[in-house]
Structure 1
Amino acid sequence: MGYYVAVEPGVNIYVEDVNPTGRKTILFVHGWPANHHLFEYQFNVLPAMGYRCIGIDIRGFGKSDKPFGNYTYNQLANDVRVIVEVLGLHDFTLAGHSVGGAIVTRYMAKHQGFGVAKLALIGAAAPSVTKRSYFPGGIEKKEVTKLIHGVYEDRPAMLVNFTEKFFYQPISKPFSDWFLQLGFAASGYATAKVAKTFRDEELFHDLSHILVPTLILHGKHDEVCRPALATALHKGIKQSKLVWFEHSGHGLFWEERDKFNRELAEFVR
């Protein structure tokens, strides 16, 4: 079922809640520039295994409200905190893909992992998407700046190009068309502002605050959040397990979905 949670006056976040009576809860936070539908191939399977799967559309994306203002990791993590409180979640698994992985990383640090029993980082945009003097494993900042310019100049073309980079395995034209619609459901300004956030912010100091068992799932061929990010996360998070997906890019939850669903289900159990 779907409903809205007010995270602040005038800002409502859309929540898709599948199998609310499930024995274990997984709260999914999607990546840029999509929405909760990104996890369709998990929501098709995991609820039938007895799990409650909750997907949210972060502010500015999907069915959620699209305020013009703040899209920092702090703000997005604060939104998650309100949702956790309103839904009364406890002892749940918090799972984030790409930018969603960065948001949940900040949540663990800023909100002391409130209610979280386990953490899953999926092709996470953490600790830094872009290269820094102390972290050469990211992409060049100018690549993200190009994405931002693309949002403002020709967002459909930008999304087409990003889709081509997202997957390592071939995808069908109908699937590509469906995937593009996820990006079109966002506002342009939110798309650009979140891109600025993952270009400019980093989360190295957040990692030591993650004190729960953490599963890191990452595609070996990821060109969006490069494999060096997963290695850095594994090094920085004490109770972490890193699982590589040998035949995947950034879309490992679809490209190797059977393995992905199995690894996640076994971790949550």
Structure 2
Amino acid sequence: MFFETHDGTRLFYEDYGHEDYGHEGYGHEGYGHEDNGREDNGREGHGHGETLVFVASAMLSTDMWEYQLPFFLERGYRCVAFDRRGHGRSDRPSDGYGIDSTADDLAALLEHLDLRDVTLIGHSLGGAEIARYLVRHGARRVARVAFVAAMLPFLTRTDDNPHGLPAEAVAASVARLRADRPRWLADQAQAFFATHLGNDVSPALVAHTMAQCLAAAPWATLQAQRAALETDHRAGLPEITVPVLVVHGAADFSAPVELTGRRTAAMVPGATYREYPTAGHGLYASHHAELNADLLAFIKG
């Protein structure tokens, strides 16, 4: 299914658990609708029709949430996910990849489906886009937010952000990405899941994740990396008024926890913080059982 965003770009989305969604699969049986949230048919029925919106990482698509969507659908939640422009099945325009534009894409999805009281769950760049969405559009449609390994608050070193990554290192990483994208991904694949710490991640899952990343448009990949690394969210985080869960891995190579997760939790008023000692950036897969349990407790809390 597709919707048209603020500049006419068509983005692909999946809407599982809503009675109007007729696609074969999870959504076909109406998971998450109040009339279907009973104990029968193997479903636990905890969601009572509540809606969760998943915002993917840079280079990844809705398919990255394969460990989360079934878990929450089986518990009675409506689950919506979409492919960022230039990613997955969405259009590949030449522009519109800045954080303001992609935050407006998220706003267009919520408005298209007229979603209210939603839980927004964003991984990596997806978390940054949620933060910018709240700045630009407010929390009128939002009940709570989960930042999962989010690229927040600001990763590049500047005079007033001395703990960030050196600008030269950021530029060098982007240059390596431009020179040989498959090699750039391969060099980081094991670190993405922190397999050196004994996390049970199969070579097949690593290869599957790389294939998903390589499916994104090269131009979109470059622009997404710049947005993730160079956008400053420090002014907006203290203004968030909805409940926030921050989840981060202590072994995150892509978004070092001391620069991101811990600082984000300190800046957001009343944020709940969970740190996984052995998790890398790909904790949505490597630590999915722990993450799902923390998300469920947060949503039900």
In 1, distance between residues paired with 2:205 and 2:134?
34
- Contact preservation (8 Å) 1:108, 1:114: no
Q: Which residue of 2 aligns with 1:193?
A: 223
The answer to whether 1:72 aligns with 2:98 is: yes
Q: Which residue of 1 aligns with 2:13?
A: 15
Aligned residue runs from structure 1 range 54-203, under 5 A: 54-169=80-195, 170=199, 171-203=201-233
Q: Which has the higher strand share?
A: 1
Tell me the alpha carbon deviations over residues 52-87 of structure 1, each in whole angstroms, 9 at most, x when there is no partner: 111111111111111011211100000000100010
* Greater relative contact order structure (CA < 8 Å, 6+ sep): 1
- Contact preservation (8 Å) 1:28, 1:55: yes
Q: Which residue of 2 aligns with 1:252?
A: 283
In 2, distance between residues paired with 1:106 and 1:160?
30
Structure 1 residue runs without a partner (length 5+): none
Q: Which letter does structure 1 place at the counterpart of 2:125?
A: V
Offset of 1:45 from its aligned partner?
1.2
Range 215-224 or range 145-154, more displaced: 145-154
SS at match of 2:68: helix
In 2, distance between residues paired with 1:138 and 1:117?
31
Q: Which residue of 2 aligns with 1:237?
A: 268
Q: Percent identity?
A: 28
Larger radius of gyration: 2
Q: Which letter does structure 1 place at the counterpart of 2:202?
A: S
C-alpha change, 1:182 and 1:114, in structure 2 (3 Å) is: farther
In 1, distance between residues paired with 2:122 and 2:7?
25
Offset of 1:179 from its aligned partner?
0.3
Structure 2 residue runs without a partner (length 5+): 19-29, 33-48
Offset of 1:120 from its aligned partner?
0.4
- Contact preservation (8 Å) 2:151, 2:229: no
In 2, distance between residues paired with 1:134 and 1:168?
31
- Contact preservation (8 Å) 1:25, 1:92: yes
The answer to whether 1:4 aligns with 2:34 is: no
Offset of 1:235 from its aligned partner?
1.5
Q: Which letter does structure 1 place at the counterpart of 2:225?
A: A
SS at match of 1:41: coil
Q: Which residue of 1 aligns with 2:56?
A: 30
In 2, distance between residues paired with 1:103 and 1:251?
18
Offset of 1:33 from its aligned partner?
1.7
Offset of 1:163 from its aligned partner?
1.9
Range 189-198 or range 4-13, more displaced: 4-13
Q: Which letter does structure 2 place at the counterpart of 1:4?
A: F
Q: Give TM-score, length-normalised by structure 2.
A: 0.84
RMSD, matched Cα: 1.5
In 2, distance between residues paired with 1:51 and 1:137?
39
Q: Which letter does structure 2 place at the counterpart of 1:172?
A: S
Q: Which letter does structure 2 place at the counterpart of 1:7?
A: T
Instruction: Count matched residues.
Output: 267
- Contact preservation (8 Å) 2:251, 2:279: yes
Q: Give TM-score, length-normalised by structure 1.
A: 0.94
Q: Which letter does structure 2 place at the counterpart of 1:102?
A: A
Q: Which letter does structure 1 place at the counterpart of 2:208?
A: W
Offset of 1:10 from its aligned partner?
4.0
- Contact preservation (8 Å) 1:211, 1:239: no
In 2, distance between residues paired with 1:160 and 1:114?
41
In 1, distance between residues paired with 2:159 and 2:150?
20
In 2, distance between residues paired with 1:143 and 1:121?
25
Tell me the alpha carbon deviations over residues 125-183 of structure 1, each in whole angstroms, 9 at most, x when there is no partner: 01112233333443333333233223322111112123233111353221111101111
Offset of 1:9 from its aligned partner?
4.9
